[in-house]
Amino acid sequence: MKKIFMLPCALLLALSFFSCSDDDGTEETDYSALTETTYSESVWNTDELDTARSVSGILDFEKDAILELNKARNNPKAYAALYILPMKDTYKGTEGNAALIECLSEMSKLDSLGTLNFAQGLYECAKEHADSSAVAGAFSHTRVDGTETFDAFGKYGTYSAAGENIAAGQRTVRDVVVDLLIDDGIENRGHRKNILSSSFDSVGVGYSDQHTRYTTMWVFDFASNWVDK
């Protein structure tokens, strides 16, 4: 049975189209295995994870975002320990730090989830949405011209599962990826699920720094078995 998950939020929105969901509804809070001193950035082979670096015609920020996603997926434990755990005592979200603690616990139990490869069609889908939303001052999964998310995906390629995260206002790649992983205020953590889904193997990231309301706009389009049209 196919399910669609829609998550409204002010500056973070996630939408996923999966053939199934592996969410068991449990909430974990144990992250005792994580310490900041256990890991270093040397755990990542960035040459292998930097799958968009040689692509021409896309922004460095867009390439950097794919690398950041792949770091989180390749070694969730290290990513959580190095970049999320240090925020534990100062983070104040709408849930206090509950979402952060939950994120730490979940990532502390994950092994490698596979590398996301750059897909030109997903990039074009994400980039068009980021640029047109920026000009219109819009923030929605629905495209500015009224096209729904997965209809937009279908213009650029075919897939068996797909998801989209959008965010606005974050100034750095790490800020936006960490925000999406923590997923504060989002009941079923749709952004985190998209980033940490082992179903996805392809990605395109669109970025604009011209948003008329929030300055920055980020669109992350994920898919499995993606084929460009």
Has this prediction a pTM greater than 0.95? no
**Confidence check: pLDDT of 6 > 60:** no
- What DSSP character marks residue 184? T
Alpha helices in 5-161 (DSSP H): 46-49, 60-74, 76-79, 98-108, 120-136, 149-156
- In DSSP terms, 176 is beta-bridged to none
Residue among 88, 162, 168, 70 nearest 121 (CA): 162
Q: What is the pLDDT of residue 173?
A: 97
Mean pLDDT for 60-77 is 98
**Confidence check: pLDDT of 1 > 60:** no
**Confidence check: pLDDT of 106 > 80:** yes
The mean-pLDDT minimum among 6-10, 17-21, 179-183 falls in: 6-10
Q: What are phi and psi of 132, to 5 degrees?
A: -70, -35
Mean pLDDT for 192-206 is 97
Exposure of 90 by Cβ count < 10 A (0-12 exposed, 13-18 middle, 19+ buried)?
Answer: exposed
Q: What is the pLDDT of residues 27-52, one digit of tens each?
A: 457 898 888 788 999 999 999 999 99
- In DSSP terms, 227 is beta-bridged to 158
Q: What is the pLDDT of residue 174?
A: 97
Give me the amino acid identity at 45.
Answer: N
Residue found by looking up tokens 């992983």 in the block: 181
